[in-house]
Structure 1
């Protein structure tokens, strides 16, 4: 009996990636991939139908699939951020002619890929032990994503989280000053972690430092002020570049950010007691690889009082594959096929 073709998707408000995979032995092999501009389509159903119908002739039609979506999934339905689309699993499966299709939050889906990432998809930040306990991942991008995974008799189960919206807890006088300023600048009464620990958060930190006395003539000050008005420029990327080139103020901004990120990573490890492994992902992981491997990040992660030894003993890994979400969706599709008895 031939093994089935699996559909994987990674869908956002701007673009959607769809791919078809099959298995060679126990290895997932991508056979076909296509990128779509999401706004060019009236809904996901006709996009899926066109993708399946126009696949290469030597690739079988998919039977099971998983699509990661930028938004919460409830009752097998999802509403996409920045698009007027209401998605239903049964409608999507019917449009693609598939037996089963599952929608999963685009950060939570990474849980399904974690045990299967290869050496080219990840880099170890801290050597340590792993067992059959819970897994966890967080990742700074536009916001701060978090998810956890638990092992069941049917394999891994991903549990999405909005932990990035927990309260930011300053650990020093400088972080307290940043938090007070940021509340006023944003006009908010409470400050979530992702306001600091995210790509956007790096921009906020730099903008704050550039308001300080002595920074009036800094070349990035007008860039930061324009970014704060309309988020048009990629200030976080310019901050990182300036730091790499030796700019002391932007180096300080990046150090503040890495330390806060490390602390948030350690907090997640405590919350989930993730003896099965801890991962760092998100859009900044590959860009900030050196920073994530630095003592600044790792020592802040480990600095958790009586649980320092526990965190120091965990294996911590960064996901650096830009298509990790697509691969993880394929891993979940494979699980669905296996649980349905399609895979021997």
Structure 2
């Protein structure tokens, strides 16, 4: 079907493997326009966007925003696992849009908060009631790990960029010290992302095998499948270890950012663990902050079950840009 000229925004979520593109009417994603493209079939983002515009009957968007799995600086993005040039000039040339923007994918998730269907938000830990403009924290656990605060003020929303996954992994006991030494041996530095990610879960499983004098490797998908089916005690133990460390890290970040508006876990691994967080000790680890244990009850923790939240965040960011101009 044809689309009206200079009416809709074009939004895209660029991952390491696939790029999802859609049209948005204000903050509302048009579900029938969502398309997925395999990155390996295209030489760059401009080609993907041009293909999408063609697939959508030469739609002429008024604005465009893309979310990128990598750091963004001075309007240009660098992707860890994809050799593409992603900058505002490229996006403008591909879309002919009047307004363009580039966000880190976690920033896009932050801009989506408040515009996601409540049916897609699962509460893990209830928090205290807070003002609508209270700070929030979005934590992404998937292929990698990252976290960023979300600040709302009279001039709009700010989601600062961050690379939280590359901070040191916290240590609370002898076992976690040995885990740090294990991932440090493999990667040279015990970073949060070395445990709290899809490959991090694999590291935890391999570590427990070394601890038991029975080394074995398993993919993250298989670990979660065995955990869900209760067919592998080591898979369950790895998931418990992962969950406790996730609780510790989220608690640390909450004390740093004071997200009285809530902590929001996003990403495929977060969703995969959502049914286990309570039973595997997330809450206990999250609140294990000594004399601040009671204070931690101020922060609610939620899991976002919306695979298109980054697209919504891109659309919401464009709306905020149009209001500020």
CA shift, 1:187, in A, is 5.2
Where structure 1 has 5 or more consecutive residues not aligned to the other structure, the ranges are: 228-234
Q: 8 Å contact 2:20–2:34 — kept in the other structure? A: yes
Q: 8 Å contact 2:13–2:20 — kept in the other structure? A: yes
CA distance in 2, matches of 1:161, 1:72: 8
Which of these residues, 301, 304, 314, is aligned with residue 329 of structure 1? 314
CA distance in 2, matches of 1:4, 1:272: 37
Deviations 1:240-279 (A, max 9, x none): 2222333222221111111001111111111111112211
Change (3 A) 1:47 1:27: closer
1:41-190 equivalence runs, <5 A:
41-56=42-57, 61-128=60-127, 129-131=129-131, 132-184=133-185, 186=186, 188=188, 190=189
> SS of the counterpart of 2:211?
coil
Deviations 1:44-91 (A, max 9, x none): 22322332243158xx63211210012111111113333332222133
Is 1:8 equivalent to 2:7 in the alignment? no
CA shift, 1:331, in A, is 1.9
1:246-325 equivalence runs, <5 A:
246=230, 247-294=232-279, 296-325=281-310
CA shift, 1:14, in A, is 1.6
What's 1:33 paired with?
34
CA distance in 2, matches of 1:49, 1:237: 34
Which of these residues, 220, 225, 230, is aligned with residue 236 of structure 1? 220
Where structure 2 has 5 or more consecutive residues not aligned to the other structure, the ranges are: none
CA distance in 1, matches of 2:50, 2:107: 25
Change (3 A) 1:28 1:18: closer
What's 2:24 paired with?
21
Extract structure 1 runs of 4+ deviating beyond 6 A: none
Give me the TM-score of the superposition, normalised by structure 2. 0.90
> SS of the counterpart of 1:116?
coil
Is 1:210 equivalent to 2:195 in the alignment? no
Give the stretch that moved more between structures: 203-212 or 78-87: 78-87
Is 1:196 equivalent to 2:200 in the alignment? no
Give the stretch that moved more between structures: 310-319 or 243-252: 243-252
Aligned residues: 319
CA distance in 2, matches of 1:323, 1:332: 15
What's 1:245 paired with?
229
CA shift, 1:212, in A, is 3.4
> SS of the counterpart of 2:293?
helix
Task: Give the greater-gyration-radius structure (CA).
Answer: 1
CA distance in 2, matches of 1:27, 1:85: 28
CA shift, 1:305, in A, is 1.8
CA shift, 1:3, in A, is 8.9
Change (3 A) 1:101 1:283: same
Q: 8 Å contact 2:243–2:277 — kept in the other structure? A: yes
> SS of the counterpart of 2:246?
helix
> SS of the counterpart of 2:250?
helix
Across the aligned residues of Structure 1 and Structure 2, the Cα RMSD in angstroms comes to: 2.3
Change (3 A) 1:173 1:79: closer
Give me the TM-score of the superposition, normalised by structure 1. 0.85
CA shift, 1:41, in A, is 2.0
CA shift, 1:295, in A, is 6.0
CA distance in 1, matches of 2:32, 2:60: 11
